[in-house]
């Protein structure tokens, strides 16, 4: 993290924040002898008051609802954006109003980022329908979504794409049996009927300005329809075997517990009879 000194306020120059998560901004004042901080203010990306307060006075805090004051060292200010969104991207200014010399300020510029989240690998039966999906949390930055089929380590083939203010485009090879959702955030590629040659890994790419691409990969496995039922039976058999094993272990544990309790009761009864023998 690189810092710069503006006047006598230290703040990070640039930071990156993940969308939909909390994020903390901070700045620190290098104060001269005899100076005291009367008020601390933060301005948002539109130079509107984000939060303002008097140090040490909780009741003095005022500001926008999506931010809150966080604990901070003396002569420093820390605020938390509760849930970062695209509109939070930009530069923030922290201002220390100082007596008797006016105010000093520092600035931090925030870039909002996101990760591509894939819904994972998919299994399908030949001749049926299969869908692959992934999500990107900043559709405002996306200009195009592109799905590619990975042919080998060095070659990939375009399947479908969707861009702003246009309809989905399906490549000729898949034009009669593929569809793509009209979304720049939650994208879903659907193939029907799936064929053996569709078995591969597919990449969803989110293209952004200026030349940034974020992507994720998921794989499609195809089973022949005549092999699906034996596979299903095999999976059920495995699950049943696990269930029987777990049930057996649980039963044995309960049995051992009952046996131990029974032994304890017998021992206590024996001790009682020894201490209180019956009169003859």
Of the candidates 221, 219, 211, 194, which has an alpha carbon nearest to the alpha carbon of residue 134? 219
Comparing 210 with 138, the larger pLDDT belongs to 138
Domain boundary among 208, 223, 238: 223
Distance CA 133, CA 121 (A): 9
Q: Which residues contact 225 (CB under 8 A, 6 or more apart)?
A: 125, 126, 127, 128
Indicate whether 102 and 132 sit together in one domain: no
Q: Are 77 and 34 within one domain?
A: yes
Question: Shortest CA distance to 120 belongs to which of 20, 47, 58, 201?
Answer: 201
- Inter-residue contact 154 to 59 (CB < 8 Å): no
Query: 120 and 80: one domain?
Result: no
3-state secondary structure 247-261: HHHHHHHHHHHHHHH
pLDDT tens per residue, range 205-259? 999 988 999 999 999 999 987 654 555 555 556 766 687 778 888 888 888 888 7
**Residues 168 and 143 reside in one and the same domain:** yes
Report, as an integer, the average pLDDT of 103-113.
97
Q: Are 206 and 239 part of one and the same domain?
A: no
Q: Which residue, 73, 98, 113, sits at the end of a domain?
A: 113
Q: What percent of the chain has pLDDT over 70?
A: 86
CATH number for the domain including 194? 2.60.40.10
Integer CA distances (angstroms), 215 to 11, 142, 147, 219, 230, in order: 32, 12, 10, 14, 35
The whole-chain average pLDDT of the chain stands at 89
Cα–Cα distance measured from residue 4 to residue 13, given in angstroms and rounded to the nearest whole number? 6
Task: Domain of residue 130: give its range.
Answer: 116-223
- The answer to whether residues 13 and 107 belong to one domain is yes
Same-domain check for residues 121 and 85: no
Assess whether 216 and 248 both reside in one domain: no
Q: Which residue has the tokens 């303002």?
A: 52
- Distance of alpha carbon 237 from alpha carbon 223, whole angstroms: 18
**Whether the Cβ atoms of residue 147 and residue 155 lie closer than 8 Å to each other:** no
Q: Which residue has the tokens 């996101």?
A: 114
Sign of CA dihedral 232, 238, 239, 244: positive
When divided into structural domains, the chain yields a total of 3
**Which of 136, 145, 137, 27 shows the shortest CA–CA distance to 92?**
27
pLDDT value of position 270: 63
Tokens of 58: 């909780």
Pair 205, 241 in one domain: no
CA distance 209 to 116: 16
Residue 236 pLDDT: 58
Give the confidence band of 185 by pLDDT, cuts at 50, 70, 90.
very high
Q: Percent helix, strand and coil across the chain, each rounded to 5?
A: 20, 50, 30
Domain boundary among 79, 95, 113: 113
Structure tokens of 264? 């304890």
pTM of the complete model: 0.75
105 and 7 co-located in one domain: yes
Same-domain status, 133 and 81: no
């Amino acid at each position: 993290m690189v810092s710069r000194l503006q006047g006598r306020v230290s703040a990070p120059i640039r930071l990156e924040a993940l969308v939909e998560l909390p994020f903390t901004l901070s700045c620190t004042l290098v104060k001269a002898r005899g100076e005291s901080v009367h008020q601390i203010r933060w301005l948002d990306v539109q130079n509107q008051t984000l939060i303002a307060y008097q140090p040490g006075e909780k009741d003095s805090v005022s500001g926008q609802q999506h931010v809150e004051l966080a604990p901070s060292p003396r002569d420093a200010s820390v605020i938390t954006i509760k849930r970062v969104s695209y509109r939070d991207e930009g530069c923030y200014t922290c201002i220390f109003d100082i007596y008797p010399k006016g105010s000093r300020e520092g600035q931090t510029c925030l870039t909002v980022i996101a990760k591509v989240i894939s819904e994972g690998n998919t299994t399908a039966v030949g001749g049926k329908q299969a869908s692959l999906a992934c999500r990107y949390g900043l559709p405002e930055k996306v200009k195009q979504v592109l799905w590619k089929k990975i042919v080998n380590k060095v070659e990939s083939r375009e399947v479908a794409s969707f861009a702003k203010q246009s309809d989905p485009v399906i490549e000729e090879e898949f034009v009669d049996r593929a569809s793509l959702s009209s979304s720049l955030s939650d994208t879903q590629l659907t193939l029907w009927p799936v064929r053996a040659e569709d078995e591969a890994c597919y990449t969803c790419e989110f293209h952004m300005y200026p030349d940034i691409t974020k992507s994720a990969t998921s794989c499609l496995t195809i089973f022949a329809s005549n092999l699906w039922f034996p596979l299903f039976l095999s999976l059920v058999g495995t699950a049943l075997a696990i269930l029987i094993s777990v049930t057996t272990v649980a039963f044995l544990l309960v049995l051992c517990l009952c046996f131990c309790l029974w032994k304890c009761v017998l021992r206590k009864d024996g001790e009682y009879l020894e201490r209180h023998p019956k009169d003859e």
